[in-house]
Structure 1
Amino acid sequence: MDLLIKNGTIITAAETFVGDIAVNDGKIVCVGMNLPVVAEKVVDAAGKLVLPGAIDAHTHLAMPFGGTVSADSYLAGTRAAACGGVTTVFDYPMQRKGFGIIETVEARKAICDVEACVDYAFHCCITDLNDGAILDEFEAAVNYGITSFKCFLVYKKEGMMVDDGTLVKVLLKAKEVGAMTNIHAENPDLIDLYTAQFLKEGKTSAWYHYMSRPEFVEAEADKRAVHWASSVEASLYLVHMADKEGLEAAVAAKREGHDIYIETCPQYLEFTCDVYKREDGRNFVCSPPMKGEESKEALWKAIRQGAIDTVATDHCPFQSYEKDWGKDDFTKIPNGCAGVENLYPYMLSAANEGKITFNRAVELCSTNPAKLFGCKQKGSLAVGKDADIVIYDPYKDVTISVSNMHSDYDHTIWEGKKIHGYPVQTYVRGKLVYDNGDFVGTPGFGEFVKREPRK
């Protein structure tokens, strides 16, 4: 046997019990109490929690945006993931006019083959149907292992937005081939209207990024996306949900039996729009922006009630000098914040503080994304699954700082955040990749996760 983790408190989405986990050839081969196993490596996890590795279902690594490229390469982003207990990341390659889905994905996969420190999967952003050729490629993409496609209802000027008709075509084709449609929902026309108004009035601080994209601007697009998906009986995954009104519409559709799923992010659970009034408010600029206290509380309530399905990060950091491009004009601020290393520690700290259970944290960050996106070998500490395992010390306190993170960015919105409890080891398919503050993995070790279609 390669590895035996013994005496830990094993946490799954459904169970909590003290036991041992035996690992061989990257797989979990036995789970039980006092296992009579001889292993090459034995880890005593007494007093600690043993969890399935997290799956960050929403990252943007090495992503061109706003006149630059996001600060974390695939190497840096997946290194940071490992150090936060994330054992699988989903990235979003951007299909452009004239390019196919598999072609787009393979260009990114080639980089991951060399750089990825944890396992990885892809959603593919659809920006142009190429006269229908992209829709014809959906089935081949699903067979390749890409079982989710993203559409933007915003970023018209950047050439990323799809109209309602295109969205419905994607929803229907995805439904036909067993794929999920992901949606970034904001109303571009209202954003453009308010942006032009504020610039004309000389209102250019980061606060007006929020004011140009307030709650109802996101809510309208949330409702529209839910309406189309419900009407054509297709699956829809709403990414980075941030507003109360849109959340309530999505939850109502779920309760009516529609195939609607909701993701939110730690930044919307921690911060409100007041951050945009700060001197460094530009560092918090992301889209959608953080909203008001009422929306934040609604998100926490939905998490506790089981209405939100996943928590992911939308990890897309930029360097501070790039954020400074918009110091006097919010429209020039590259949109995005760091988060991949903070996802699991943040949600597990919330559990440690009693906001949710540890089982719910595992469900949100590991088990649910594995189920929703067809990662059959991930998301659980069960026999036959990949040995993606996190050992967590519930008594270890960490104050987040850019100096103790493992990315390539030079600042973080999480600076000074105190986390109660912290991962001390991360294993990817049985290999130790993070050990007590240090990355000990190998770039290129991460493997492509070929996903199964939806039933």
Structure 2
Amino acid sequence: MDLIIKNGTIVTPLESYVADLAVKGGKIVAIGTGFSEEGASVVDAKGKLILPGAIDAHTHLAMPFGGTVSADSYLAGTRAAACGGVTTVFDYPMQRKGNGIIETIETRKEMCDPEACVDYAFHCIITDLNEGTILDEFEDAVEYGVPSFKCFLVYKKEGMMVDDATLVKILLKAKETGAMTNIHAENPDLIDLNIENFLKEGKTSAWYHYLSRPEFVEAEADKRAVHLAKSIGAPLYLVHMADKEGLETAIEAKREGHDIYVETCPQYLEFTCDVYKREDGRNFVCSPPMKGQESQDALWKAIKSGDIDTVATDHCPFQSYEKDWGKDDFTKIPNGCAGVENLYPYMLSAANEGKITFNRAVELCSFNPAKIFGCTEKGSLTVGKDADIVIYDPNKDFTISVENMHSDYDHTIWEGKTLHGYPVQTYVRGNLVYDNGEFVGKAGFGQFVKRVGRK
């Protein structure tokens, strides 16, 4: 054996039990007791939980947006991921007019390969069908190991939006090829109308970012996307769900037997739109914005009931001086917040406080994203799977500060948040990458995760 973790409580989506876990060649090779420790590194996890590494299925690393680039490179973002117990990140390379899917993926892969500290996968954003040639690439992309695509129903002026006809073409082709379509659902025309009116009235603070895209603006697009996917029988994954009405529509479709999946993010579970009234409200600007208390309550209810499938982060931080560009005009604030290092600790703290079970936290952050997105070697502590392992101390309190995070940003919306329980070690394919507050991995260790389609 290369590694034995003993005396800890192993947590799966269905059960928790005390056992030892043995690793060889980067894989979990046995779970039980009485393993020979000869030649192995031995870790005593008594009193601690042994968890599968988290999968953050939604990050934007080194992403050009709003006149700048998100603050975390692939190195910084995946380093932070490791230190938060995230062992696989999904990034979103963006296909543009004139460029192909494989070309787009490989360009980003060349950036990621030398920097990634944990394993990584891609969803490809589709912005233009290039007179239909992009649809012809779907099958090749699935074979390549990228069986998921994203569409923006917003950002029309930025050239990122797809119209409804294009969306239906993508949904149908994804269905045919065994791919999943991810949707950012907001209504751009309503947002632009609201922005125009607010600017005319001199209403320019961060509060009007929220009021320009309130609950019904997201809900309309959620409902439209769900309606189209239901009508043609195509699978659909709704990213960063933040509003009650759209959530309820998705839940209804799921219960009717449609292939609909819902993701939300920790920021929507922790903060409400009231943050935009704060003096530093611009730091919380992301899209969709945090919503009202009623929506947050609905999200937590769906987390507990199993109607939300995954929790991811939409990690896309910017520096404070860049956020300050919009101090007097909310439309100039780069949209995005930090989160990849906070995902697992936040959800595990919720479990430690009794809001959900640890089993549910593992399901939301590891098992379900692996299952939905075809990560066959990830997502559970099972013999034969990659040894992506987190050791978690439920008795260790931790207060988040930009000073103890491992990203390249200079502020965090999570500043001062105290979590009850915290990861103390992270292993990627059996290799220690995080140890009691310190990153101990290396750039370039992370590997591309070739995923399987849904057929």
1:274 lines up with 2:274 in the alignment: yes
Written as runs of structure 1 = structure 2, the 5 A alignment for 1:11-26 is 11-26=11-26
Partners of 2:327 and 2:102 lie apart in 1 by 39
1:414 alignment counterpart? 414
Written as runs of structure 1 = structure 2, the 5 A alignment for 1:370-449 is 370-449=370-449
Letter in 2 for 1:6: K
2:59 alignment counterpart? 59
Letter in 1 for 2:445: F
Letter in 2 for 1:197: N
Letter in 2 for 1:153: L
Q: Retained in 2: the 8 A contact 1:95–1:104?
A: yes
Cα deviations by residue, 1:375-428 (Å, 9 ceiling, x for unpaired): 000000000000000000000000000000000000000000000000000000
Q: How much has 1:37 moved relative to structure 2?
A: 4.4
Partners of 1:388 and 1:324 lie apart in 2 by 39
Paired residue secondary structure (2:360): helix
2:331 alignment counterpart? 331
Partners of 2:136 and 2:147 lie apart in 1 by 14
Q: Retained in 2: the 8 A contact 1:28–1:383?
A: yes
TM-score normalised by length of structure 1: 1.00
2:84 alignment counterpart? 84
Partners of 1:135 and 1:112 lie apart in 2 by 25
Written as runs of structure 1 = structure 2, the 5 A alignment for 1:40-51 is 40-51=40-51
Partners of 1:121 and 1:62 lie apart in 2 by 15
Written as runs of structure 1 = structure 2, the 5 A alignment for 1:66-145 is 66-145=66-145
Partners of 2:35 and 2:251 lie apart in 1 by 43
Partners of 1:100 and 1:62 lie apart in 2 by 20
Q: Retained in 2: the 8 A contact 1:370–1:379?
A: yes
Q: Could you tell me which runs of 5 or more consecutive residues in structure 2 were left unpaired when the two chains were aligned.
A: none
Q: How much has 1:38 moved relative to structure 2?
A: 3.0
Partners of 1:36 and 1:243 lie apart in 2 by 52
Letter in 2 for 1:187: N
Partners of 2:325 and 2:39 lie apart in 1 by 55
Partners of 2:256 and 2:49 lie apart in 1 by 37
Q: Retained in 2: the 8 A contact 1:22–1:37?
A: no
Letter in 2 for 1:16: S
2:261 alignment counterpart? 261
Partners of 2:358 and 2:440 lie apart in 1 by 26
1:28 lines up with 2:28 in the alignment: yes
Partners of 1:272 and 1:160 lie apart in 2 by 27
1:358 lines up with 2:363 in the alignment: no
Partners of 1:35 and 1:13 lie apart in 2 by 25
Partners of 1:360 and 1:287 lie apart in 2 by 26
Q: How much has 1:431 moved relative to structure 2?
A: 0.3
1:231 alignment counterpart? 231
Partners of 1:388 and 1:444 lie apart in 2 by 17
Q: Retained in 2: the 8 A contact 1:18–1:33?
A: no
Paired residue secondary structure (2:98): coil
1:176 alignment counterpart? 176
Cα deviations by residue, 1:212-252 (Å, 9 ceiling, x for unpaired): 00000000000000000000000000000000000000000
Partners of 1:32 and 1:335 lie apart in 2 by 47
Partners of 2:190 and 2:389 lie apart in 1 by 45
Q: Percent identity?
A: 83
Paired residue secondary structure (2:384): coil
Cα deviations by residue, 1:85-104 (Å, 9 ceiling, x for unpaired): 00000000000000001100
Paired residue secondary structure (2:394): strand
1:310 alignment counterpart? 310
Q: Retained in 2: the 8 A contact 1:153–1:183?
A: yes
2:322 alignment counterpart? 322
Q: How much has 1:150 moved relative to structure 2?
A: 0.2
Partners of 2:235 and 2:272 lie apart in 1 by 30
Letter in 1 for 2:450: K
Written as runs of structure 1 = structure 2, the 5 A alignment for 1:159-170 is 159-170=159-170
Paired residue secondary structure (1:79): helix
Paired residue secondary structure (1:150): strand
Partners of 2:366 and 2:454 lie apart in 1 by 18
Cα deviations by residue, 1:107-137 (Å, 9 ceiling, x for unpaired): 1111111000000000000000000000000
Q: How much has 1:15 moved relative to structure 2?
A: 1.5
Letter in 2 for 1:19: A
Letter in 2 for 1:279: E
Q: Could you tell me which runs of 5 or more consecutive residues in structure 1 were left unpaired when the two chains were aligned.
A: none
Cα deviations by residue, 1:294-324 (Å, 9 ceiling, x for unpaired): 0000000001000000000000000000000
Partners of 1:56 and 1:106 lie apart in 2 by 21
TM-score normalised by length of structure 2: 1.00
Q: Retained in 2: the 8 A contact 1:138–1:177?
A: yes
Cα RMSD between the aligned structures?
A: 0.5
Paired residue secondary structure (1:335): coil
Paired residue secondary structure (2:114): helix
Partners of 2:70 and 2:435 lie apart in 1 by 27
Paired residue secondary structure (1:115): coil
Partners of 1:206 and 1:124 lie apart in 2 by 30
Q: How much has 1:39 moved relative to structure 2?
A: 4.1
Letter in 2 for 1:4: I
Which is further off, 105-114 or 289-298?
A: 105-114
Partners of 2:125 and 2:103 lie apart in 1 by 13
Partners of 1:170 and 1:424 lie apart in 2 by 42
Partners of 2:412 and 2:75 lie apart in 1 by 18
Paired residue secondary structure (1:142): helix
